[in-house]
Amino acid sequence: MNAFATTQNTTLLVIGGGPGGYIAAIRAAQLGIDTTLIEGAALGGTCLNIGCIPSKALIHAAEEFEKAGHYASGSALGISVSAPAIDLAQTVKWKDGIVSRLTGGVGALLKKNGVKVIHGWARILDGKSVAVTQDGTETMRVNCEHLLLATGSQALELPGLPFGGRVISSTEALAPTTVPQRLVVVGGGYIGLELGIVYRKLGAEVSVVEAQDRILPAYDQELTKVVSASLHKLGIQLHLNCAVLCMNPAGDAVRIRNAAGVESQLAADQVLVAVGRRPRTEGFGLDSLKLDMNGRAVKIDDQCRTSMRNVWAIGDVAGEPMLAHRAMAQGEMVAEIISGKRRHFVPAAIAAVCFTDPELVVAGLSPAEAQAAGLDCITAMFPFAANGRAMTLEANEGFVRVVARRDNHLIVGWQAVGKAVSELSAAFGQSLELGATLEDIAGTIHAHPTLGEAVQEAALRALGHALHI
């Protein structure tokens, strides 16, 4: 048996300092629960350090650079500039500054609320104790009453394209030192497309390889065809229904095979593999607990309880949907349950946003999902081409769509594609959570001129009397 230099005791022990873990720890401490959090890397997890935040920073920088290039060739706005240039090192420095401020803020919040933070790597000994490794040595043991798993997820690796050399994951893609001349993106989901668009706007020739017959296969085609048109306009090459095999012998091209079985090569200075993520369940002794699993994810109930008493799991380690805001909500709930409050995780909907160009947001049921659920629904959309604010933003592509029950007009889903539609996600989620009807949305005065007017107009159109179309 290992001899530990120190032993600490706590009521709640959180493994993982990402969005779910740090929110759970803060809320638990606010409720008077003695709380300890263990994190081996930087606080904030994947989201703040190598995911949501840095990717949005680079998306913004790339968009501004492309806009400057657009003005260099003349603009309807009357703006003209000389040929723009970008200092990539400065861009990355700016991005890292944002990340640093946010992760520092998380640390300050944990300290302010009295959470004990241990910087080290956890190894589960049993459901009540964890060993902590610091600088390669197990230095302490932490005993707890409640153990919360918030270990997140990690990028999936392809057998034929292991990470290393020219083959990178999203982590390396978010910290570029140069822009490759030719980038091949493996995976047409949201991560691959977001980063592929960034690199294209920064000047790379980008090809996207997707195994299915269209991009963003998790979203319905009426939405994704708007994004497809934008990719074509940007000059991004799509190779759909194609399987990726491996790098060629010279290591400067990716071998792919199409649906007809014909093989070809795509020249590549860099290859970004973005085929999804998997729950992080290995390397820290989780298997010793012998928890019930749901595939690769830890199986949980509607209170985030695992099959072992007082062992909880939240966020990506508990499977789909792998969204930071889901993890945050689950973490807050678990803290409140441990404090004695009665809570269950049964949200009406969790909005998902894809920060492509244009953006895409969905909440609740799509028309096809509503039909599959046996619901007789009304579906109506309002195009941004008829929205004044969209016109002033030079962004009139896309639409807002509402799905509501025909019998009582209860709204069961929202979808939108267009510039800045991510900002509509709160309105979508709120209307679903509050059980709004078409009449509720149609009768709410929406400020003019805003993109949000399209939300009201979609509801009005579903009722048969849209005003601006």
Q: Are 457 and 463 in contact (CB under 8 A)?
A: no
Q: Which of 446, 448, 465, 468 is catalytic?
A: 448
375: which 2 tokens?
């619901």
Residue 353 burial (10 A CB sphere; 0-12, 13-18, 19+) = buried
Instruction: Name 169's Cβ contacts closer than 8 Å, sequence gap at least 6.
Output: 155, 157, 163, 272, 273, 274
Give which of 329, 328, 368, 401 is closest to 218, Cα–Cα.
368
CA distance 407 to 211: 40
> End-to-end alpha-carbon separation of the chain, Å?
74
Pairing mode, strands 167-168 and 270-273: parallel
CA distance 433 to 436: 8
* Packed helices 19-30 and 88-112: angle between N→C axes, nearest 10 degrees: 30
- Cα–Cα separations (whole angstroms), residue 175 to 56, 73, 170, 281: 13, 29, 9, 26
Instruction: Name 65's Cβ contacts closer than 8 Å, sequence gap at least 6.
Output: 84, 86, 201, 202
69: which 2 tokens?
């290039």
**Is 448 marked active-site?**
yes
Pairing mode, strands 399-405 and 205-209: unpaired
> Within a 10 A sphere around the Cβ of 407, how many other Cβ atoms?
10
DSSP string, 177-229: SS--SEEEEE--SHHHHHHHHHHHHTT-EEEEE-SSSSSSTTS-HHHHHHHHH
CA distance 317 to 349: 20
The amino acid present at 315, given as its one-letter code, is: G
CA distance 24 to 314: 9
Three-state SS at 239: strand
Segments in 31-121 forming alpha helices (H)? 45-50, 52-72, 88-112
Give which of 129, 152, 188, 133 is closest to 49, Cα–Cα.
152
Q: Which residues are catalytic?
A: 448
